[in-house]
Chains A and B, each alone.
Chain A
Amino acid sequence: MKELEYDVVVIGGGGAGMSAALSVREQGFSCAVVEREAHLGGILLQCIHNGFGLQEFKKEFTGPEYADEFIQKVRAEEIDVYERTTVMSLTPSDDGHESYCYSPENGVMRLTSRAVILAMGCRERNRGNIRIPGTRPAGVYTAGLAQRLVNIEGYIPGKDVVIIGSGDIGLIMARRMTWVGSRVHAVVEIQPYPSGLTRNIVQCLNDFEIPLYLSHVISRIEGHDRVERVEITPLVDGIPDTDQSFYVECDTVLLSVGLIPENELSKAAGVELNPQTGGALVDSTMMSNVPGIFACGNVLHVHDLVDFVSEEARRTGAYVAKYLRGQRPKREVRIKAGANVRYVTPTRLNPAEPDKLYMRSLVVKNHAEVEIKLDSNVIKKTRKTHVQPSEMLSVKLKKKDIEDVRFTDDSVLEVNIR
């Protein structure tokens, strides 16, 4: 068995992993990236549409272009990249962590490192998770799997399509399926508002006159061998009204019903998760409850823009470098999700080093205000033209925001949306 040592092992070579590795390397530490697929880049490689990079590069890139920017940088650095390699377990060792990595080329390798950055991304919620009744025919795919089949493999999964969920991947796939010659008959969304960006509603649905059914559910999938039709039922006051159910003939159902951070490896390593996000509970330095294990990107919480992933991962890499130098926060206070807020990440603030907070709203609202309170005193208010659950919000806490505030060990920072 091969054994190697690094300062840092990054698990996952997608948007988060590449950015974190570059940041670690920039600080002078040795670093390995372990990627299970054949190439660096992660899911970005199958997102061939544009709309990436406006924050990070001030340019509008496609997914492959965005990934390529990072791939070229990683290749130019002294970073060991292990492709086609799966981390099967992560366990503590005397001086850090051991990652057991499996690959056809190297067999089983043991990588020992003082720190580990979790950057495994997320998986798609599937039919079982949302419990759609009916038969179990061929032709039910998650939108991401369909995207892979079409964009990378060049296969068409179906000709007559109904999409469940109006998340961005579902909307993007509505346009893609249309552009490969299939017909998209409906996009069905359980919420009274779309989950995806307005721009995608306009360019992926309205451009092709694809009907969007808000406050509707797929109440049944039918078909013996292959999907034959779906039953769609409207929600009236939040309750399915089966008297108004109708059928749509189709051979394919694509699901775009949310993402779940992929944390099975983390859980087995003892990392505690936040039930709200499905990601690790991290302190002000993005470190989990297990010393030396950090998390960033979609494995921490599901982001809607990869630009934010890159940014978060870069900060995480810098925090890891501080950890390796023995610099830890002297005091941290708890951060709490308050009114109308689903979650805030991270869940700790270092008063000596305030940083960016990411959060999601529970409400849809124009002209909202993010209010940050410390022990019931408002310390910052930030106006947002529009908030909705599907769009992540960020607030940058600056030193001047908290310089006049007195922190105690029991202080709590509360984030509200008003």
Chain B
Amino acid sequence: MSARKDYGEPIREMICISCPIGCHLQLFKDENEELVVKGNRCPRGKEYAQEEFYAPKRVVTATAATADPDAPRLPVRTDKPLPKEHINDLISEVYALEVKLPVDRGAVLIENYRDTGVNLVSSLTLGK
């Protein structure tokens, strides 16, 4: 029986969302400060944990105000996942927008948000 390394208490626990099984992952740091992942049943679990630990990102969806009382809110989204630390600030900026109609689906409303390369775009063609 091979000796199992004891990493002590995990530094984070998370559920892998790469597939519906939803492995419960435990994350540890080894002596070289490298991330060690336990509990994954396939390599995708390790990749997921790496990204989720070092650079978690989310697609943000919300609505922005329009001046049209018949369609007061325009659905909007980020065109790529945004680093998590920017989400709250972006949402505040979305709520401060007032979009002029008509607007096309995909129209860029905020470009390259804080140099992340992520744009905020319209989710719907509205006002046409």
Residues of A within 8 A of B (CB): 45, 48-50, 60, 62-65, 67-68, 72, 150-154, 179, 197-199, 201-203, 206-207, 366, 385-386, 388, 391
Chain B residues lying within 8 Å of A151, measured Cβ to Cβ, are 63, 73, 75
Q: How many angstroms between the C-alpha atoms of A386 and B58 in the bound complex?
A: 25
Q: How many angstroms between the C-alpha atoms of A45 and B123 in the bound complex?
A: 10
- Establish whether residues B20 and A385, one from each chain, have CB atoms under 8 Å apart when the complex forms: yes
- Establish whether residues A202 and B72, one from each chain, have CB atoms under 8 Å apart when the complex forms: no
A48-B63, A203-B58 as given contacts; A385 in contact with B123, CB under 8 Å: no
- Establish whether residues A62 and B75, one from each chain, have CB atoms under 8 Å apart when the complex forms: yes
- Establish whether residues A385 and B77, one from each chain, have CB atoms under 8 Å apart when the complex forms: no
- A sample of 7 more A-B contacts (CB under 8 A), given A154-B73, A179-B91, A388-B20, is A45-B75, A65-B77, A154-B63, A179-B62, A198-B20, A202-B17, A386-B19
Contact for A385 among B19, B59, B61, CB less than 8 A = B19
Contact for B75 among A48, A206, A366, CB less than 8 A = A48
Residues of B within 8 A of A (CB): 14-15, 17, 19-22, 58-59, 61-63, 65, 72-73, 75-77, 84, 91, 105, 123-125
- Establish whether residues A202 and B14, one from each chain, have CB atoms under 8 Å apart when the complex forms: yes
Q: How many angstroms between the C-alpha atoms of A206 and B17 in the bound complex?
A: 12
Contact for B105 among A63, A68, A150, CB less than 8 A = A68
Across the A-B interface, how many residue pairs have beta carbons closer than 8 Å? Answer: 74
- Establish whether residues A198 and B22, one from each chain, have CB atoms under 8 Å apart when the complex forms: yes
- Establish whether residues A65 and B105, one from each chain, have CB atoms under 8 Å apart when the complex forms: yes
- Establish whether residues B21 and A49, one from each chain, have CB atoms under 8 Å apart when the complex forms: no
Q: How many angstroms between the C-alpha atoms of A263 and B28 in the bound complex?
A: 53
Looking at chain A's contact residues, is the secondary structure mostly helix, strand, loop, or mixed?
A: helix
B40 smallest CB distance to A (angstroms): 14
Chain A residues lying within 8 Å of B22, measured Cβ to Cβ, are 198, 386
A65-B124, A202-B15 as given contacts; A385 in contact with B21, CB under 8 Å: yes
Q: How many angstroms between the C-alpha atoms of A152 and B72 in the bound complex?
A: 7
- Establish whether residues B62 and A386, one from each chain, have CB atoms under 8 Å apart when the complex forms: no
Q: How many angstroms between the C-alpha atoms of A386 and B42 in the bound complex?
A: 14
- Establish whether residues B65 and A154, one from each chain, have CB atoms under 8 Å apart when the complex forms: yes
- Establish whether residues B17 and A65, one from each chain, have CB atoms under 8 Å apart when the complex forms: no
A48-B63, A62-B75, A154-B63 as given contacts; A68 in contact with B124, CB under 8 Å: yes
Q: How many angstroms between the C-alpha atoms of A367 and B17 in the bound complex?
A: 17
B12 smallest CB distance to A (angstroms): 11
A173 smallest CB distance to B (angstroms): 13
A48-B63, A179-B62 as given contacts; A64 in contact with B73, CB under 8 Å: no
A347 smallest CB distance to B (angstroms): 26
Can you pick out 29 interface pairs between chain A and chain B where the beta carbons lie within 8 Å of each other?
A45-B75, A45-B124, A48-B75, A48-B76, A48-B123, A49-B61, A50-B59, A65-B77, A65-B124, A67-B124, A68-B105, A150-B63, A151-B75, A153-B72, A154-B63, A154-B72, A179-B62, A198-B20, A199-B17, A202-B14, A202-B15, A203-B17, A203-B58, A206-B14, A366-B21, A385-B19, A386-B20, A386-B21, A388-B20
Name the residue in B72, B73, B91, B125 with the highest tally of chain A Cβ atoms < 10 Å from its Cβ: B73
A151-B63, A202-B17, A386-B20 as given contacts; A207 in contact with B125, CB under 8 Å: no
Chain A residues lying within 8 Å of B124, measured Cβ to Cβ, are 45, 64-65, 67-68
Name the residue in B61, B73, B91, B125 with the highest tally of chain A Cβ atoms < 10 Å from its Cβ: B61
